[in-house]
Structure 1
Amino acid sequence: MKKRALSLALACTMAVTALAGCSGGSKETTAATEGTKAETKAAETTASAGGQTTLKWSVWDISSTTYYQPLIDAFEKAHPDVKIEMVDLGSTDYQTVLATELTGSGSDFDVVTVKDVPGYMTLVNKGVLEPLDSYIESSKVDLAQYKGLTDQIKVENKLYELPFRNDFWVLFYNKDIFDKAGVAYPTNDMTFEQYDKLARSLTVDTPGQEVYGAHYHTWRSAVQLFGVLDGKNTIIDGKYDFLKPYYDMVLKEQEDGVCQDYATLKTSGLHYSGAFAQGNIAMMNMGTWFISTLMDKIRTGEYTDCKNWGIVKYPHAEGVEPGSTLATITSLAIPANAPHKDLAWEFINFVSGKDGAEILASTGTIPAVMNSTVADLVSSADGFPKADGTSVEALNTSKLYLEMPVNPKSSEIETVLNEAHDAIMTGSITADDGIAQMNEKIGAILGK
């Protein structure tokens, strides 16, 4: 994996493995594009002539996502004949539901949000996404504004999505818990050993007054991706022995009551935002996407027990540069069967470009297009903790590693990683056995 430095402006050039395979669906998609373009344009003209045209946009977590409506309001103001209709497919199985929708005969989405790389590869392989290259060329979109990111998500030299968000993982902390315990706040340079010791020092196991020093959401990435921060391994290598120290740490914390029990969290379906909002979690590793939600919920009075919060850089292994962390992109795409492709492209171009980036940043969300103006907007957003000495600096990362590098087998790899993680964290198998399972099954997938 290639490593590149990231500036304070958060220019998001990420280390990824070059895509070595070819999608079987792109030629079909191209043919569909050529055969339906004139027909689609005619349909859009007819719809507009009859009044307002509605674009259907697939999303998740409408109620807890602050930037959807500002983006829609700005676009509709500039396009009074267009109405954006969001369709919430839920967050838990979003990509699975989306793939089912797009491969069915009744889907009429104009714009779809692509949540992750495995989901992206699944949709491309199924041939259900429209190549965006002709639209990008005709609109003279400068792909350089994505700092090389778009080069890393091409399939057969075609681009099927355009990123509009680029989030990375940080450590959220509740200052009130630290203050009450008389413990100094976490810093932007902590090893995992220091982090574990700090979490233990804040844990309170008094019945009815429990305080958890750490919290890990049920995603595999909350634990597994600690292991890729040294740049020596990726999650698609086929060998996973490097995960052992991190599973050992988290499983021991779970056993000692430092963090909540994984099986209980999984059964209850407790969302990470709800967990932090309860006010009894000292530290929680989570992506920067939570910043805007947290600020908004505190501002509206919904969250009252975590109002005094901050962020620091991710903990790191010995010898790893502070600020090394994990990145994930969120993108927009046009389905191959979209009813209003040209208008859909206009919306995608707006959201993924400079104007959309400024709207996202004003809500505290990290956009894919980052410049000095946008970076300033993120840290100056209402509710962002500017004066604690850690939070603003936490936005200055050193190295970013893509959570799941683009790979033709990424969806299959993701399935095995998730199954093993679930089994390890619920105690169904040991960490050693789970890692051996990953090595065997993913090795077979990769032909090793």
Structure 2
Amino acid sequence: MKKRALSLALAGVMAVTTLAGCGSSSKETTAAPEGTTTETTTKAEAPADTTAAASGDKTTLKWSVWDISSTTYYQPLIDEFEKAHPDVTIEMVDLGSTDYQTVLATELTGNGSDFDVVTVKDVPGYMTLVNKGVLEPLDSYISDSGVDLAQYKGLTDQITVDGKLYELPFRNDFWVLFYNKDVFDKAGVAYPTNDMTFDEYDKLARSVTVDTPGQEVYGAHYHTWRSAVQLFGILDGKNTILDGKYEFLKPYYDMVLAEQEDGVCQDYATLKTSGLHYSGAFAQGNVAMMNMGTWFISTLIEKIKTGEYTDCTNWGIAKYPHADGVEAGSTLATITSLAIPTNAPHKDLAWEFVNFVSGAEGAEVLAATGTIPAVMTDEVANLVSATEGFPKDDETSVDALNTANLYLEMPVHPKSSEIETALNEAHDAIMTGSMSVDDGIAQMDEQVSAILAE
């Protein structure tokens, strides 16, 4: 199955959202609480009255989320919706970040689930819920409400399953290169640009690396998600993570493993064992460059504003590095969506909330927090670019928010969850050194091809 390129010319599209799903991916999108040093988040206790009950004259809608304490946009969205619906209370339930989709699937297939709205972190998680039949088709709601799907610029086409749409995206993040200007200034090296090949990127990372014990500076940082390495290989639009043949990943594994061997980046096994969150790594101030999604921008701005981050306050972003012959600004997209469970107690009211958050009104609220929404209008773009704390006087950072080609991290496929598992296992084996790059790729080829043939 060939990946469809999202050629979203988000003119002026600013960037700026939290998550993992593949782990987004999957986008891996999206991880444990920002600013912590672990990716473990505990599930919040449900209130004593777990039914979506009326509180006085108010109706309570239960919304499944993750990372409440570190996500800047949840409460503003709730405040705006409740302002327009004074008879409604939105109650968030934090299912944790690391195993969010697994926990959510368990909740929705159990007898006691009473969520009205659920957040869907990634495509594999979405397909799992669709295959289990626990999500309500939204097509009739969309039609009756006159929602124009064109505002999503092709995203909804790519998440339609057998002619039905079970979620609406409210965030659309893409990957950029974060960098710490202080590290480059201290080394006397020029900042990253918006048009770097992978060879140029690798040389730049090596040029600012310091391996003095106790004073280490890492030229690059790769989080433990497979997407941080594997998805370099799909930027040319010719390959897809669902092809079943993965030889195209070899140059990128070779590059990252060589950097790891030379101390240019931190050791994968150590990161895995320690559970160091990518935000914690960047916040330490000794990472020059880190490839990560735009979801990190809003958190970075907030943590610097509150004084929690003090060693990475002079930061910027650049466009993703690219292979020779690939257009600068080609990058990876990951969406975060809202859905309504089939057993939701208040489906009509839940739809009103989904429509609000995923539409133009919700987009303005998201943009005001420095988060990139799925719906991008001129007004929304202006709000994002004006976000306090974003390096808007930095021409490179502003231009980095203009993308050329966007490719979904994981396209919709009935077996996407199984494929994700196979790719994650091979990635872990390669990065820990328990399997060579060639053997790891051979394992991916064999396992994914078998899954696709089922």
1:174 to 164, 180, 183: 180
1:417 corresponds to which residue? 423
Aligned residues: 415
Name the amino acid aligned to 1:6: A
**Which residue of 1 is the match for residue 303 of structure 2?**
297
Deviation sequence 1:252-289 (CA, Å, 0-9, x none):
11111111111111111111111111111000000000
Runs of 4+ in 1 over 6 A off after TM superposition: none
- Structure-to-structure mapping, 1:102-121, within 5 angstroms: 102-121=108-127
Query: Per the alignment, do residues 5 and 104 of structure 1 end up closer, same or farther by CA in structure 2, a change over 3 Å counting?
Result: closer
1:11–1:177 distance in 2 versus 1, CA, 3 Å? closer
Give SS of 1:214's match: strand
CA distance in 2, matches of 1:66, 1:50: 29
Contact preservation (8 Å) 1:11, 1:147:
no
* Equivalent position of 2:141 in the other structure: 135
The match for 2:9 among 6, 11, 15 is 6
Task: After TM superposition, give the deviation of residue 335 of structure 1 in Å.
Answer: 0.6
| Aligned ranges 1:301-320 → 2 under 5 Å | 301-320=307-326
Equivalent residue number for residue 75 of structure 2: 69
Distance (Å, rounded) in 2 between the aligned partners of 1:192 and 1:289? 23
The aligned counterpart of 2:271 is 265
User: Aligned-pair distance for 1:48?
Assistant: 5.2
Cα gap change, 1:251 to 1:138, in 2 (>3 Å): same
Map of 2:44 onto structure 1: none
Q: Specify the SS of the correspondent of 2:362.
A: helix
Aligned-residue offset at 1:9: 3.9
Match of 1:30 in 2: none
Cα distance, 1:10 vs structure 2: 3.8
Helix, strand or coil: the match of 1:444?
helix
Give the Cα–Cα distance (whole angstroms) in 1 for the partners of residues 168 and 342 of structure 2.
15
Q: Give the C-alpha shift of residue 424 in structure 1.
A: 0.7
Q: Is the 8 A contact 2:195 2:321 kept in 1?
A: yes
| 1:82 and 2:88 matched | yes
Structure 1, unaligned runs of 5 or more:
13-45
More helix by share: 1
Q: 2:11 is matched by which residue type in structure 1?
A: L
In the TM superposition, what is the alpha-carbon distance from 1:363 to its structure 2 partner? 1.0
Cα RMSD (Å): 1.5
Q: Output the CA distance in 1 between the equivalents of 2:336 and 2:250.
A: 29
Match of residue 33 from structure 1: none
**CA–CA distance in 1 between the matches of 2:55 and 2:277?**
44
Shift of 1:2: 4.0
Q: How does 1:139-288 map to 2 (within 5 A)?
A: 139-288=145-294
Q: Which amino acid aligns with 2:438?
A: D
AA partner of residue 116 (structure 1): D
Amino acid at match of 1:179: D
Distance in 2 (CA, whole Å) between partners of 1:10 and 1:378 is 8
**How many Å separate the matches in 2 of 1:188 and 1:262?**
27
Instruction: Give the structure 2 partner of residue 426 of structure 1.
Output: 432
Matched to 2:204, the amino acid is L
State which drifts further: 115-124 or 60-69.
60-69
Letter in 1 for 2:66: W
Deviation at 1:231, TM superposition (A): 0.8
**Letter matched to residue 151 of structure 2:** Q
Gaps of 5+ in 2: 16-51
Q: What amino acid is aligned across from residue 149 of structure 2 in structure 1?
A: L
Instruction: Output one character per residue of 1:344-373: Cα deviation in whole Å (capped at 9) or x when no partner.
Output: 111111100001001111111110000111
Q: Flag the 1:98–1:47 CA change in 2: closer, same or farther, 3 A.
A: closer
Query: What is the DSSP-based 3-state SS (H/G/I as helix, E as strand, rest coil) of the residue aligned with 2:207?
Result: helix
**1:50 shift after superposition:** 4.4
Normalising by structure 2, we get a TM-score of 0.89
Task: Give the superposition deviation at 1:7.
Answer: 3.9
- Is the alpha carbon distance of 1:49 and 1:193 closer, same or farther for their aligned partners in structure 2, counting shifts above 3 Å? closer
Q: Distance in 2 between matches of 1:399 and 1:185?
A: 23
TM-score norm. by structure 1 comes to: 0.90
3-state secondary structure, aligned to 1:113: strand
1:358 and 2:364 correspond: yes
Instruction: Report how far residue 11 of structure 1 moved.
Output: 11
Retained in 1: the 8 A contact 2:8–2:153?
no
SS at match of 2:276: coil
Deviation string 1:73-124 (CA, Å, 9 cap, x unpaired) is 1111111111111111111111111111111111111110001111100000
Deviations 1:278-306 (A, max 9, x none): 11100000000000000000011111110
| 8 Å Cα contact 1:11/1:371 also seen in 2 | no
The structure 1 residue matched to 2:66, chosen from 38, 54, 60, is 60
**What residue is the counterpart of 1:38 in the other structure?**
none
Contact 2:219 2:289 in 1 (8 A): yes
Tell me the equivalent position of 1:21: none
Equivalent pair of 2:226/2:423 in contact (CA under 8 Å): yes
CA shift digits 1:353-409 (9 cap, x unpaired) = 001001111111110000111112111101000112211100110000100011111
**Distance in 2 (alpha carbons) for counterparts of 1:392 and 1:88:** 33
Larger Rg: 1
- The one-character-per-residue Cα deviations of 1:44-77 (angstroms, maximum 9, x if unpaired) are xx95594221111111111111111111111111
Mapped partners of 2:69, 2:4: distance in 1: 38
**Inter-partner Cα distance in structure 2 for 1:64 and 1:242:** 36
